[in-house]
Amino acid sequence: MTNADSGLYYVGVFNNNQYLKEVSKYYLRARWNNNGAGVETPMCPFDCFGDSHGTCDADIPNGKSVCTCEVNSYGGEYCQGKVIPFDTDDHLASGIDGVIAPGEWNYIQIDTAFFSDATKDGLRVIFSYQGNGHPLLIVKYNDYPSYENADDILSSSRNMRSPTEYHIPADIMSRSGVYYIGILNINYYVHDGFSYNIVINAGKSSSTKLPNFISVSLVMIFSLFVCMLIALAKRIVQNRQLARMRALRAAQIAANPELAFTFGGAGNRRIEPFRGTPQNVISRIPIVTFRDAGDGPKLDDCDYSCAVCLDEFVNGDRLRQLTLCGHQFHTACLDEWLGQHDNCPLCRAPVVGEEGGGGAEDSGNHRQQQQNVELTSVFRPTNDENTNNDDRNDNSSPYSVV
């Protein structure tokens, strides 16, 4: 190019991927002629950030141009960062302060000889900043760090809290020598500078990182699963204990119907009186059959339903009739009631009088005699009230009696 104006130029390199489909390596070298004097001056990327940072030198044998940085002042491939040694007691007490413009670097130089325990416990770094810039913190041993060669990335988040404590572990600090902590103001999302303060001490981190959301969720799910297993195991054990208690209770009642075996609230055994009606007493209650004599007006004081299940009696129902009060109930209903009680479900009259019932043989004969007794529904008489009582057994009688 001749008569080129001063400014920024771009050189595009394109692999057209048509005739040869291979990866191509290239090197681009640029030089410029100083005022037509015939002397070519090599050009370096970013012009080594100006003469105050470094100079661009030609590497003639390799055909490359490199930046030579001001010693102990600037560093990096293109002399882009200011080098700041961390080597005084004031640095240990109050840290290092600095200001970084967008796209610029600062390199904090650390010698392990200044931190006696760094190789054993690592380094504790406390970083705080003010401004709208975007800080990046990375670490490299014996070289200026970049994204490509960093040994550790302390933070790259745009939402960094200030101050924030970081820990460079001992496995990274295990080698003696010089380390660099690179601080970059990323000139991408935001384009503003920031001021910072960095304090470095040997030792382990004093802060504990909070577990992330996935870890907390997994712990909660695992804890819930363990609680469910414990509850299930407890229920199984309780059901088995209850089954053994019921079996023991049934055996106790079978051996002595007058007593029931139960457990106290504390698990202690105790014997309580049986509150139901013994089976041998229930078996002596007469069984009758309900027969409907036909249509007709019913007596007002007669109830034709079971007081236990509240269902009306129908023709052919087998009923038990209590001997003392005369009330009738479905056989199954009364048997279930008397399993837990010893009185009439309707009037609470006792099932057996104080004189008690007969013997087992008498009760068997009595029960056999009662199997053929029929209980007929009662109707109000419609003929003359002086009808002979002997005629009541005739089927042509206008009413039937129990």
Omega into 350 within 30° of 0, i.e. cis?
no
Of the candidates 311, 326, 304, the residue with the CA atom closest to the CA atom of residue 373: 326
Q: Are 76 and 107 in contact (CB under 8 A)?
A: yes
pLDDT tens figures, 112-137? 888 877 778 889 899 999 998 899 99
Quote the pLDDT of residue 138: 93
Quote the pLDDT of residue 378: 39
Of the candidates 153, 196, 158, 151, the residue with the CA atom closest to the CA atom of residue 178: 151
Q: Which amino acid is it at 116?
A: S
Quote the pLDDT of residue 180: 94
> Given this chain, do its domains 81-202 and 279-393 carry the same CATH topology?
no
Quote the pLDDT of residue 254: 64
Alpha-carbon dihedral angle through residues 234, 239, 244, 249, given to the nearest 10 degrees: 130
Quote the pLDDT of residue 389: 39
3-state helix, strand, coil in the chain (%, to 5): 20, 30, 50
Quote the pLDDT of residue 49: 83
Where do the domains of the chain lie? 1-79, 81-202, 213-273, 279-393
Question: Which architecture characterizes domain 81-202 according to CATH?
Answer: Sandwich (2.60)
Tokens 């991927």 belong to: 17
361-364, Cβ contacts within 8 angstroms, sequence gap of 24 or more = 363/280, 363/283, 363/284
First and final CA of the chain: distance in angstroms? Answer: 134
DSSP states along 225-279: HHHHHHHHHHHHHHHHHHHHHHHHHHHHHHH-TTEEEEE-TTS-EEEEE--S--H
Query: The domain 279-393 is classified under which CATH number: 3.30.40.10, 2.60.40.420, 1.20.120.1200, 2.60.60.20?
Result: 3.30.40.10
Quote the pLDDT of residue 99: 93
Q: If you count them, how many residues does the chain have? A: 402
Of the candidates 401, 396, 398, the residue with the CA atom closest to the CA atom of residue 383: 398
Sites in the chain below the pLDDT cut of 70: 1, 27-42, 58-63, 205-212, 252-275, 293-302, 353-402
Quote the pLDDT of residue 279: 87
Cα distances (angstroms) measured from residue 377 to each of 211, 244, 291, 359? 82, 48, 6, 32
Q: Are 149 and 143 in contact (CB under 8 A)?
A: yes
Of the candidates 340, 348, 349, 358, the residue with the CA atom closest to the CA atom of residue 253: 340
Instruction: Kindly tell me the burial class for residue 124, based on how many C-beta atoms sit within 10 Å of its own C-beta (0-12, 13-18, 19 or more).
Output: buried
